[in-house]
Chains A and B, each alone.
Chain A
Amino acid sequence: MKKSLIIMLAVLIVCVIGLFYALQYLSMEFSDGADYTEKDKREYNFYTPELLKNMPRVSNAYSFHYSNVSGPNPALTYQVIFFGTTDPFKINAWLEKNGFKKTEMCNKNRYCWVGQDPNMTVSVGFEENPAAILVKMVDKAGQK
């Protein structure tokens, strides 16, 4: 009797822990957005696409932003901001090396790049006050 009680308790604990992790996963999966740095390991590993993970770090201070746009025009947007610099040379060269082509100026101070995937646009821009480079990736795959 005592043994079966212990087994039941163990099963219950495993179920509760499983449920806890499942809910946590679900909440990240459909989260509206997140701001994080590379030190926030859980968010960094979960949200950051390989493109931004492998991008050259052009300054020591940088942070990430993720946004899940739902509704009529669903899209996922990923962004990294490098603070203290406005020189995009290294990032542009790296994008070219990885098969991206510069298309046009898609906003003020911002150039767009396209790669193999037509649903995905990468843009590289800068801000002067405070100095920062913004690399933004927009994935519109959900609109298909």
Chain B
Amino acid sequence: MSIRSEIIDGNLAQRSSYGLVYTELLGWVDLGHAQGTDIRNLWSQMLCGESQSGTTYDVTYKQSMIGLKRRLTVGKSITWRLKKGLRYPQKQSVALAMMITVARKFEELQGSFPFSLATDSGFSGEDLVSDLLGFYQVMSCMNNVFSYLKPISKEEALKRWDHYGKIGSWKNETFKPLLFPDPVRSPNGRPHFGQLPDFMKTVTPYNRWTSEDVGIVDPNRGFIRFGREEPRV
């Protein structure tokens, strides 16, 4: 979840790693969630696995939150075992299924006690759709995905925020966009679900569990890691 001061101009979305933008097609997008770094990491695990000996390899995907000054990291992870030689689209399906599975578990964790006392980020309206955008930023091979999403200016985005209230209070447990109509054009408009753009519907999450292509090594691991100190400078 983001706070109001993190809203940036939609024109800056493509070259910024953090911040919150409003787009007409996906609603609010949290750029931290949409970086795709997690997907690149998962993809590189698959490439490494393919080059190893043996008939299968394991890949792990995780999402987490950090306690201040790195003292604590809390999160969820899963590990799946992949048969070597899966085709490119099959690997994409597996990667998407892993991200979707962990994202839901992680948002549940954030929405549960005691974290719910500190943050209303669990299933915050923009989280899951931003995660999905991160996946397609890597998989779609498009140079500037934001040019297709109709991002709006910072001034206009602030108006939406102020009219509908903070995004953390609007929950969305789906990967569909939650849209907030322009309050000037639709004074009585209510937030509603929109449709994903076509380029974000091209991969289907893996579900062929009857085949032996994918096995589950660890279906749901909650982890807490204790860190140490303040960042070294």
Contacts and interface: CB of A to CB of B under 8 A. Distances in A.
Contact of A72 (B17, B18, B103, B121): B103
Contact of B118 (A31, A98, A141): A31
A104 interface: no
A86 interface: no
| Dominant secondary structure of chain A at its interface with chain B | mixed
Given A67-B6, A142-B73, A74 B118 contact: no
A71 B17 contact: no
Given A49-B233, A67-B18, A33 B6 contact: yes
Contacts of A33: 2-3, 5-6
A143 B227 CA distance: 12
B65 A68 contact: yes
Most chain A CB atoms below 10 A, which of B39, B63, B130? B63
A70 interface: yes
Contacts of B121: 32, 70
B17 A138 contact: yes
Contact of A27 (B106, B118, B232): B118
Interface of A: 23, 26-35, 46-47, 49-51, 65, 67-77, 98-99, 107-108, 115-117, 119-120, 137-139, 141-143
Most chain B CB atoms below 10 A, which of A68, A69, A76, A119? A69
Interface in B217-233: 227, 230-233
A71 B106 contact: yes
Given A32-B1, A32-B168, A67-B3, A72 B131 contact: yes
A137 B6 CA distance: 15
| Dominant secondary structure of chain B at its interface with chain A | mixed
B70 interface: yes
Interface stretch (B30-38, B191-199, B205-213): B30-38
Interface residues of B, number: 49
Contact of B119 (A32, A141, A142, A143): A32
A32 B127 CA distance: 13
Contacts of B67: 29-30
Interface stretch (B83-91, B109-117, B152-160, B181-189): B109-117
A98 B231 CA distance: 14
A50 B114 CA distance: 28
B47 interface: no
Given A27-B118, A49-B231, 11 more contacts: A30-B115, A30-B118, A32-B2, A33-B6, A50-B233, A65-B6, A68-B65, A72-B33, A74-B65, A115-B232, A137-B231
